[in-house]
Amino acid sequence: MEFGKPRWVQTTVNVDDHIIVPRLDPAAVACDPEKAVEDYVSSLSMLPMDRSRPLWEFHFLDIPTSEATSTTVLRLHHSIGDGASVMTLLMASSLSTADPTRLPAMPPPPKRTGPIYQRRPRPPLSSGEALLAWVWSYLVLGWNTLVDGVLLLATMLFLSDPRTLFTRADGGSSKSHRHMRFLHRSLSLDDVKLVKTAMNCALTVHYLNYGNTVKVVLAVDDAQFSDCHQLLDDFVESMMLIKDATNFRTLKSIRFD
């Protein structure tokens, strides 16, 4: 970095500088290993990265938890890649524990199937109606483009986002580090698909898929939420309520039929 302006430069990578094996408090680990891992990962959000070397780190926590024998934390700058692409690259570069002889490969692309991805049939139109619909679609497109352009310009000049629980407490300053807590819960992939189909909409969540298990990951600012665990528990509970309501409606329909 020169004169405060970051730029890409060739460098020699010393892997030992990027491999970190921390020593945690044995008493805290013995009391609650899950919380010890969670607290350590949360503390990383407050530590700036060393800009004198490539901005990536691997943290290895040799602590058995209820879901794994150890934990690996990958910490890197967003200029290297976004979470989805980096996780895809990491998975493609790793061997399978179920079949160590299988060569690494990119995961298959998701299959866009189901009712939500099917186009709804449109009634046939006459030539005049088709022309009117074509002209109207371009008028709507032009109007939406104009509105978006005006809003973008107004946001750049004087508008600001409204204050919510999800707004940064420091006003969005990039010089400060927030104390983030990273949580996860496990859901059944079949349950998530059932809720999506029942609601006839797309569910956008950050998750990792392990077979038929979905791990929902949530990053929470401690300064905004007093009980971040309850926030994620409420999300899981709402999913289960929708699932139960869907199953009840299906059973009720079968009985009446």
Residue numbers annotated as active site: 78
By the 10 Å C-beta count (0-12 exposed, 13-18 middle, 19+ buried), 131 is classed as exposed
* Per-residue tokens: 54: 């490539």
* Per-residue tokens: 113: 């199937």
The span from the CA of 41 to the CA of 228, in Å, is: 15
- Is the CB of residue 204 less than 8 Å from the CB of residue 216? no
Which among 113, 115, 122 is positioned nearest to 201, based on CA atoms?
115
Which among 37, 36, 38, 33 is positioned nearest to 219, based on CA atoms?
38
- Is the CB of residue 43 less than 8 Å from the CB of residue 6? no
What is the per-residue DSSP string for 99-149? -TTSPP-PPPPPP--SGGGSPPP-----HHHHHHHHHHHHHHHHHHHHHHH
